[in-house]
């Protein structure tokens, strides 16, 4: 009896170890895809069996944002999503997925696979920093195919590809990056009022956790703040007189919280 019990325990432990290793390998692979697609180092966590039993939420995946609108570096995917992603590389063949491109009737398993890749793309854009669901979904629809390609091939994005899908503003040889960055910094310093630049940067970060209406209201408030100041007129006059601008406002002195 004890021998049988020991054998059962060993089998259960062995199966559990194998399942754990498979889950870890899948999470590692998904994390690599999300890192490539999202443009920063992130992690993908697949829901456990126990977590799936008690989870009644409708979300297929989640990313947490802090109060400043900064996303965490981890997304949690539901167990069915990860299960579909786990079998996806083994299921792919042109005949099976032709119905998707033909907009025809497909087996439910095919749609589950496609939806799982789309969820991965969607949550990756949340990891990238987009909190608005409509905007995230728009980006995800445009990059689901790229997510599938990265998932299946395991290759890395080139700089040109990153620029094409909006993860970078441009792609340059390594030797030219620092010079290009300094040129952009010089243009900002010479042609833009310091307070306006600081407020624009602040709005970019704050808007991650705002609704579209809240962003519009905050942007209007910042416009009212700077348009009634000397730098608003100075920018126009410097342009008309074709001379360098002489900015009067300074961030340490004129930042909204200090006035």
Residues of the chain short of pLDDT 50, as ranges, are 3, 6, 8-17, 258-259
Is residue 156 located within the same domain as residue 224?
Answer: no
43 assigned to some structural domain: yes
69 assigned to some structural domain: no
CATH number of domain containing 254: 1.10.12.10
Q: Which of 112, 130, 164 is the last residue of a domain?
A: 164
CB 171 within 8 A of CB 160: yes
72 assigned to some structural domain: no
Cα distances (angstroms) measured from residue 187 to each of 39, 181, 198, 250 = 25, 10, 15, 18
Is residue 254 located within the same domain as residue 210?
Answer: yes
222 assigned to some structural domain: yes
Q: Domain containing 136: what range?
A: 2-53+82-164
Q: Residue 125, CB half-sphere, CA atoms under 13 Å: how many?
A: 24
59 assigned to some structural domain: no
pLDDT of residue 259: 44
pTM of the model: 0.59
Is residue 27 located within the same domain as residue 126?
Answer: yes
Total domains present in the chain: 2
User: What tens digit of pLDDT does each residue of 158-205 get?
Assistant: 777 777 766 677 888 889 889 988 998 888 888 888 888 888 888 888
pLDDT of residue 253: 84
pLDDT of residue 236: 85
């Amino acid at each position: 009896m004890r021998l049988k019990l020991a054998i059962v325990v060993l089998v259960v432990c062995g199966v559990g170890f194998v399942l754990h290793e498979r889950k870890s390998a899948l999470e590692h692979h998904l994390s690599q895809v999300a890192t490539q697609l999202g443009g920063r180092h992130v992690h993908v966590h697949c829901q456990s069996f126990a977590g799936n039993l008690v989870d009644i939420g409708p979300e297929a995946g989640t990313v947490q944002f802090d109060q400043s609108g900064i996303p965490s570096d981890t997304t949690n995917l539901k167990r069915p999503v990860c299960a579909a992603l786990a079998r996806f590389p083994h299921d792919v063949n042109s005949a099976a997925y032709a119905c998707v491109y033909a907009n025809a009737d497909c087996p439910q398993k095919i749609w589950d696979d496609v939806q799982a890749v789309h969820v991965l793309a969607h949550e990756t854009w949340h990891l990238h920093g987009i909190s608005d669901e409509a905007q995230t979904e728009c980006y995800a629809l445009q990059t689901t195919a790229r997510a599938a390609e990265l998932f299946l091939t395991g290759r890395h994005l080139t700089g040109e590809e990153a620029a094409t899908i909006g993860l970078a503003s441009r792609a340059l040889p390594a030797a030219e990056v620092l010079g290009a960055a300094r040129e952009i910094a010089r243009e900002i310093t010479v042609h833009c009022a310091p307070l306006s630049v600081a407020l624009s940067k602040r709005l970019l970060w704050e808007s991650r956790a705002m609704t579209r209406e809240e962003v519009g209201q905050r942007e209007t408030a910042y416009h009212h703040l700077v348009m009634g100041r000397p730098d608003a007129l100075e920018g126009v006059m410097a342009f008309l007189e074709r001379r360098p601008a002489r900015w009067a406002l300074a961030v340490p002195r004129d930042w909204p919280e200090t006035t």
